[in-house]
Structure 1
Amino acid sequence: MCRLFGFRSIIQSQVHHSLVSAENALEVQSNRHPDGWGVCYYIAGSPHLIKSEKTAVNDSIFKTVSGVVSSETVIAHIRNATLGKVSLLNTHPFQYGPWVFAHNGNIKNFDKFKDQLLDEIKPRFKRFILGSTDSELLFYFLLSDLDDVTDTTKLDCSIEVLQASIKKSIKKLTSIVGDYCPHDEGKNTETYLTFLLTNGSTMVAHQGGKKLYYSTFKVKCVERDTCPHFSVECEAPTVTGKVNHLIFSSEPLHGENTWIPLELGQLIGVDSEMKLSISSSN
Structure 2
Amino acid sequence: MCRLFGFRSSVPSAVHPSLVTQKNSLLIQSREHKDGWGIAAYGAEAAPVVAHGVGPAHSDPDFERVSSRVSSHTVVAHIRLASVGAVELRNSHPFHHGRWTFVHNGTLREFARHRAAVEELICPTLRVGIQGTTDSERCFYLFLTRLAARHPIVGSVPVEGVARALAETMGLVAAITDDSQAQQRSAMNFLVTNGEVMVASRRNRTLFVSVGGARCELGGLPVAGTRLEQLIVSSEALCGGPNWAPVQEEDVIGVDAGLVFHRWRVPELAGDVVPPPTPGPSQHAA
Once the two structures are TM-superposed, the CA of residue 116 in structure 1 deviates from its matched residue by 1.0
Q: Does the Cα contact within 8 Å between 2:47 and 2:100 map onto a contact in 1? A: no
Give the Cα–Cα distance (whole angstroms) in 2 for the partners of residues 215 and 179 of structure 1. Answer: 34
Is 1:139 aligned with 2:140? yes
Q: Deviations for 1:88-111, whole angstroms, at most 9, x for unmatched residues?
A: 000000000010000001111111
Q: Does the Cα contact within 8 Å between 1:179 and 1:191 map onto a contact in 2? A: no
Give structure 1 regions of 4+ aligned residues with deviation exceeding 6 angstroms.
Answer: none
Q: Does the Cα contact within 8 Å between 1:16 and 1:66 map onto a contact in 2? A: yes
Q: How does 1:127-206 map to 2 (within 5 A)?
A: 127-154=128-155, 156-178=156-178, 191-206=186-201
Q: Secondary structure at the match of 2:122?
A: coil
Once the two structures are TM-superposed, the CA of residue 255 in structure 1 deviates from its matched residue by 6.0
Name the amino acid aligned to 1:92.
H
Q: How does 1:248-263 map to 2 (within 5 A)?
A: 248-254=233-239, 258-263=243-248
Q: Deviations for 1:230-277, whole angstroms, at most 9, x for unmatched residues?
A: xx659x955862111110111111167711101101000001001110
Give the Cα–Cα distance (whole angstroms) in 2 for the partners of residues 132 and 13 of structure 1. Answer: 34
Q: Deviations for 1:179-206, whole angstroms, at most 9, x for unmatched residues?
A: 69xx9xx8xxx62001101111000000
Give the Cα–Cα distance (whole angstroms) in 2 for the partners of residues 125 and 112 of structure 1. Answer: 22
Q: Does the Cα contact within 8 Å between 1:22 and 1:255 map onto a contact in 2? A: no
Q: Percent identity over the alignment? A: 37
Q: Which residue of 2 aligns with 1:81?
A: 82
1:217 pairs with one of 190, 212, 215: 212
Q: Which residue of 2 aligns with 1:278?
A: 263
Q: Which moved more, 1:95-104 or 1:237-246?
A: 237-246
Q: Deviations for 1:107-166, whole angstroms, at most 9, x for unmatched residues?
A: 111111111111110111111111110001110011101110111112x11111111222
Name the amino acid aligned to 2:71.
S
Give the Cα–Cα distance (whole angstroms) in 1 for the partners of residues 14 and 92 of structure 2. Answer: 23
Once the two structures are TM-superposed, the CA of residue 217 in structure 1 deviates from its matched residue by 1.7
Q: Which residue of 2 aligns with 1:245?
A: 230
Structure 1 spans left out of the alignment, 5+ residues: 219-231
Once the two structures are TM-superposed, the CA of residue 168 in structure 1 deviates from its matched residue by 2.1
Q: What is the TM-score of this pair, normalised by structure 2?
A: 0.86
Q: Which residue of 1 aligns with 2:283?
A: none
Is 1:265 aligned with 2:265? no
Q: Which residue of 2 aligns with 1:55?
A: 56
Give the Cα–Cα distance (whole angstroms) in 2 for the partners of residues 243 and 179 of structure 1. Answer: 39
Q: Which residue of 1 aligns with 2:7?
A: 7
Name the amino acid aligned to 1:278.
R
Name the amino acid aligned to 2:198.
M
Name the amino acid aligned to 1:76.
A
Give the Cα–Cα distance (whole angstroms) in 1 for the partners of residues 72 and 247 of structure 2. Answer: 24
Structure 2 spans left out of the alignment, 5+ residues: 268-286
- Cα 1:257–1:59 shift into 2, 3 Å: farther
Once the two structures are TM-superposed, the CA of residue 39 in structure 1 deviates from its matched residue by 0.3
Q: Secondary structure at the match of 2:31?
A: coil
Q: Number of matched residues?
A: 262
Q: How does 1:37-52 map to 2 (within 5 A)?
A: 37-44=37-44, 45-52=46-53
- Cα 1:257–1:7 shift into 2, 3 Å: farther
Give the Cα–Cα distance (whole angstroms) in 2 for the partners of residues 139 and 168 of structure 1. Answer: 12
Q: What is the TM-score of this pair, normalised by structure 1?
A: 0.88
Q: Which residue of 2 aligns with 1:70?
A: 71
Aligned CA RMSD, in angstroms, stands at 2.2
Give the Cα–Cα distance (whole angstroms) in 1 for the partners of residues 252 and 171 of structure 2. Answer: 14
Once the two structures are TM-superposed, the CA of residue 62 in structure 1 deviates from its matched residue by 0.5
Name the amino acid aligned to 2:128.
R
Q: Secondary structure at the match of 1:85?
A: coil
Give the Cα–Cα distance (whole angstroms) in 1 for the partners of residues 47 and 126 of structure 2. Answer: 19
Name the amino acid aligned to 2:54.
E
Give the Cα–Cα distance (whole angstroms) in 1 for the partners of residues 225 and 94 of structure 2. Answer: 32
- Cα 1:257–1:247 shift into 2, 3 Å: farther
Give the Cα–Cα distance (whole angstroms) in 1 for the partners of residues 252 and 37 of structure 2. Answer: 24
Q: Does the Cα contact within 8 Å between 2:191 and 2:198 map onto a contact in 1? A: yes
